[in-house]
Structure 1
């Protein structure tokens, strides 16, 4: 027996089809965006921008203020870049992700870059910005660590295998101290501050522009830093990097990214309060404004070596690269010391 459609049902079906079709359109659009999407955005004025991701070395802290400031002040936009800033989980992971093309650009420690290139990761520096290392031993000022010899008989928190701990023996030897005269207590990066706060260690190996201000804020006590660079040991720290594939396929974007980054650092240096304020809401883990201010203030002391004084942020010296490469070959971080060009492709930042 043939089933008959009720007249009312026949009238409803076309309407139901149109509703269903209307619902499917945005779903299909979302699916298309997820599958590919555009690599460009357009501003309200009609200017086309390249979508760019930058992955940091860690969760945002004061050192990263220039990126947020450059985005807020539309410096990156001026250079045709729609910048997305992502938190990292350590320099090593950021370097690997950049080499693999999982992020367009990375911000990471140079020793991690050297180690990755040594293992065949296709990634290069396009400019180290922190050219004086923030590596230091940090302790409460009351501990009296004013010179390297004050470390004798002390216990210092460190993280096995990182650049700080790999260079610590060089720092000690440079200053006539035997490794046996200082006890190093290994802990994970997050546990170093806790070790000092609890009194389990006398100090920690860390970055002068990172842990020190946090430790001071948490304890209410002044903190001092025994900087490696003040006592004969300096090496490159954080800088901008890119995967070799993107470097070859999109050289114009790489140049614009370097130019925008250099300009952002210069502008942030002139407006330090504004740079710190631009970080509001950057992360749930973001330190308090006074800590960010101190972190950024210290970061600005690290931008140059004697070879690059007076030059734009991110301009490097080949001699400084050779010094860094030699040090990390000496410490076993890399098995072969290659020419600087194996690790670094200089760009021309904005003047």
Structure 2
């Protein structure tokens, strides 16, 4: 199943190792054995079932067929992943597009989007059924937990404005992301920030109690979610490498959402601390967010949608004027 190929194994231990050593394996197209080009890749965050498509691309030989020697390590979230890309310490990572727009607006990082993983935002607020939260208005006066600096928290004022609620009436508290489901199940908070694909994990922690999911995409329809980013330098100097990598990765993505049970089994061979059933459930939930409307290929980026996303965030005061689609995405490299 390709266990000798280059993936870093082990859940939380690998996450810590990835954060510490991600800068050591950046290939940026360097030859590894005279025939294959080395490439380093960070998952969006950790090693959860929703990230399984990269491991599927590895196990199915899609990277090999593209002439790539790919090392996969668990990422630590959009903010950190982007900084590693900008510094040239890692080649590719899927980062939340909205969170990236906000960060680029503040820090002017030299990164660029080259393919979409999720064609719609997967950000959401989750509560448990019977706890009094059924729609966005019910969040007022409540406490919501998420990781410090999370995309869900960063985007919430924009979501709240469009949903017709006062974001100042919602209290946010910070917990490490791995603790969020258990914190909600223990009723230490009223709700948590979570990607929609986290529903099986939340319900498992709550011992089968149903989750109430309030997706941001109900109101923020134009926003992409995770999008593959690379450095401006790599995109400019090695466009063929970028296309080879994203092509292979997207083959893994398409296979994973089409064959979620097999994909989950492959993923758990690389990450044995994870659960096959929950990983498959995440991939099933992810499928509608991956597929493009109108028959566009997997990974497509639309400059008009990016422009609308920028306009939404500028209108909400989340980013300053001046950002343009061409400053955040390389459309010529996208599918």
When the two structures are superposed, what TM-score results if normalisation uses the length of structure 1? 0.79
Paired position in structure 1 for 2:15: none
Does structure 1 residue 80 correspond to structure 2 residue 80? no
Could you tell me how far apart the structure 2 residues matched to 1:39 and 1:168 are?
41
Does structure 1 residue 341 correspond to structure 2 residue 326? yes
Does structure 1 residue 318 correspond to structure 2 residue 309? no
Could you tell me how far apart the structure 2 residues matched to 1:239 and 1:215 are?
24
User: Following TM superposition, by how much is the alpha carbon of 1:128 offset from its aligned partner in structure 2, in angstroms?
Assistant: 1.8
Equivalent positions of 1:104-123 (< 5 A) are: 104-118=91-105, 119-123=107-111
Distance 1:349 1:79, change over 3 A: farther
Q: CA offsets, 1:118-150, max 9 Å, x none?
A: 322211010122121111111112325332223
Could you tell me how far apart the structure 2 residues matched to 1:158 and 1:257 are?
32
1:328 to 308, 313, 323: 313
**Runs of 4+ residues deviating >4 angstroms:** 347-350
Could you tell me how far apart the structure 2 residues matched to 1:271 and 1:233 are?
27
Paired position in structure 2 for 1:226: 214
Does structure 1 residue 50 correspond to structure 2 residue 37? yes
Does structure 1 residue 182 correspond to structure 2 residue 170? yes
Q: CA offsets, 1:78-132, max 9 Å, x none?
A: 1111211111111111111111110121221113432443322211010122121
Distance 1:232 1:267, change over 3 A: closer
User: Following TM superposition, by how much is the alpha carbon of 1:232 offset from its aligned partner in structure 2, in angstroms?
Assistant: 4.9
Equivalent positions of 1:61-72 (< 5 A) are: 61-72=48-59
2:139 to 140, 151, 154: 151
Paired position in structure 1 for 2:30: 39
SS in 2 for 1:313: coil
User: Following TM superposition, by how much is the alpha carbon of 1:348 offset from its aligned partner in structure 2, in angstroms?
Assistant: 5.4
Distance 1:309 1:303, change over 3 A: farther
Equivalent residues of 1:268, 1:275 under 8 A apart: yes
Distance 1:245 1:201, change over 3 A: same
Could you tell me how far apart the structure 2 residues matched to 1:202 and 1:103 are?
37
SS in 1 for 2:173: strand
Gaps of 5+ in 1: 1-33
Equivalent residues of 1:312, 1:349 under 8 A apart: no
User: Following TM superposition, by how much is the alpha carbon of 1:176 offset from its aligned partner in structure 2, in angstroms?
Assistant: 2.3
1:129 to 117, 142, 165: 117
Gaps of 5+ in 2: 1-24
Q: CA offsets, 1:231-288, max 9 Å, x none?
A: 455522111111111112211111111211222222222222111111124346x431
Paired position in structure 2 for 1:21: none
Paired position in structure 2 for 1:303: 290
Distance 1:122 1:150, change over 3 A: same
Paired position in structure 2 for 1:28: none
Which range moves more in the overlay, 69-78 or 325-334? 325-334
Could you tell me how far apart the structure 1 residues matched to 2:191 and 2:168 are?
17
Paired position in structure 1 for 2:10: none
Could you tell me how far apart the structure 1 residues matched to 2:334 and 2:114 are?
10
1:239 to 227, 234, 258: 227
Q: CA offsets, 1:162-183, max 9 Å, x none?
A: 3312322232222322235433
Alignment size in residue pairs: 307
Q: CA RMSD in A?
A: 2.6
2:250 to 262, 278, 291: 262
Q: Which has more radius of gyration?
A: 1
Equivalent positions of 1:163-202 (< 5 A) are: 163-202=151-190
Equivalent residues of 2:144, 2:172 under 8 A apart: yes
SS in 2 for 1:335: coil
Could you tell me how far apart the structure 1 residues matched to 2:123 and 2:37 are?
35
Distance 1:269 1:162, change over 3 A: closer
Paired position in structure 1 for 2:202: 215
When the two structures are superposed, what TM-score results if normalisation uses the length of structure 2? 0.82
